[in-house]
Structure 1
Amino acid sequence: MKIDILTLFPEMFTIFDHSIIGRAKENKILDINTLNIRDYTLNKHKKVDDYPYGGGAGMLMAPQPIVSSIQKAREDNKGKVIFLGPRGKTFNQEIANELSKEEELIILCGHYEGIDERVYKYIDLEYSMGDFVLTGGEMAAIPFIDSICRLIPGVLAKDESFQDESFYNGLLEYPQYTRPPVFEGDEVPEVLISGHHEKIRLWRKKQSLLITKAKRPDLFEKYELSKEDKKILYNFKK
Structure 2
Amino acid sequence: MKIDILSLFPAMFEGVFGESILKKAGEKGAVTFNVTDFRQFSNNKHNSVDDYPYGGGAGMVLKPEPIFRAVHHLTEHTASKPRIILMCPQGERFTQKKAEELSKEEHLIFICGHYEGYDERIREHLITDEISIGDFVLTGGELGAMVVTDSVVRLLPEVLGNDESAVKDSFSSGMLEHPHYTRPAAYEGMMVPDILLSGNHAKIEEWRMKESLRRTYMRRPDLLDQIELSDQQRNWLKEFKNNIE
TM-score range for the pair, normalised by the shorter chain length: over 0.9
Return the offset for 1:86. Answer: 2.6
- What does 1:162-173 correspond to in 2, within 5 Å? 162-173=166-177
- What does 1:2-41 correspond to in 2, within 5 Å? 2-14=2-14, 15-41=16-42
- What does 1:61-72 correspond to in 2, within 5 Å? 61-72=62-73
Which of these residues, 119, 122, 135, is aligned with residue 122 of structure 2? 119
In structure 2, the residue matched to 1:200 is: 204
CA distance in 2, matches of 1:203, 1:124: 42
Letter in 2 for 1:43: N
Alignment gaps of 5+ in structure 2: none
Q: TM-score by structure 1 length? A: 0.94
Cα distance change, pair 103–228 in 1 and its aligned pair in 2 (3 A): farther
Return the offset for 1:9. Answer: 1.0
In structure 1, the residue matched to 2:98 is: 95
Instruction: Map Cα deviations across residues 163-213 of structure 1 (whole Å, 9 max, x no partner).
Output: 111111100011111122222321111111111111110001000001101
Letter in 1 for 2:102: L
Aligned residues: 238
Q: Percent identity between the aligned chains? A: 50
CA distance in 2, matches of 1:7, 1:212: 37
Say what the alpha-carbon RMSD is for the aligned residues. Answer: 1.6
CA distance in 2, matches of 1:235, 1:218: 18
Return the offset for 1:44. Answer: 0.8
CA distance in 2, matches of 1:231, 1:153: 36
Mapped contact 2:25–2:153 kept (Cα < 8 A): no
CA distance in 2, matches of 1:52, 1:179: 60
In structure 2, the residue matched to 1:159 is: 163
Alignment gaps of 5+ in structure 1: none
Letter in 2 for 1:200: I
CA distance in 1, matches of 2:35, 2:229: 43
Return the offset for 1:234. Answer: 5.6
Which of these residues, 160, 178, 181, is aligned with residue 177 of structure 1? 181
Give SS of 2:182's match: coil
Q: TM-score by structure 2 length? A: 0.92
Return the offset for 1:61. Answer: 0.9
CA distance in 2, matches of 1:216, 1:235: 17
